[in-house]
Chain A
């Protein structure tokens, strides 16, 4: 029963942060802040939603025995979690660098301190 409560709390956290991400895509003024909202919040919310899936399937796994097909679902969900955790911030960094190099200024920005410093 406590496992179910933890699962519901994780689902609530995950849904809330995904909703915050898509609202932030519309509310924020320029490209960099939209990137901030759209990738950080979806990474955090997705981690919690997949953790809810893992917890629930570990619960079913512990009931049905060690050699049930639920073990495959648990381990593969964990691999999907690692894939999101590794690839999402990297992609966000690539998009931000590409946006800066295609001369996009933040909203109401006057001075760009990184101007001309394009060496990696």
Chain B
């Protein structure tokens, strides 16, 4: 039940990756990156349910928090401001 959902979401990631490559400005690319991060978290949770591996869901939690920190730092960087 879960594997086709994971494949579908991987196709969604590829579509969003096209925006990361094409994006005319830097914030457009970051929006694509943020979308990809969220979908990767969901894929990790779904694969953890598919293979009954708790470690994948633990990695998903850590990935969520780290990608949040990454997003904040990239936002600070393109703002060209002080920390």
Q: Which residues of A contact B (CB under 8 A)?
A: 7, 11, 14-15, 18-19, 21-23, 25-26, 31, 34-35, 38-39, 42-43, 45-46, 49-50, 53, 56-57, 69-70, 72-73, 76-77, 79-80, 83-84, 87-88, 90-92, 94-95, 97-99, 101-102, 104
Contact = CB atoms under 8 A, between A and B. Distances in A.
Q: Which of A39, A42, A72, A104 has the most CB of B within 10 A?
A: A42
Given A22-B16, A42-B39, A95 B52 contact: no
Given A77-B49, A87-B64, A34 B28 contact: yes
A53 B45 contact: yes
Given A87-B65, A104-B27, A77 B57 contact: yes
B83 to A, nearest CB: 13
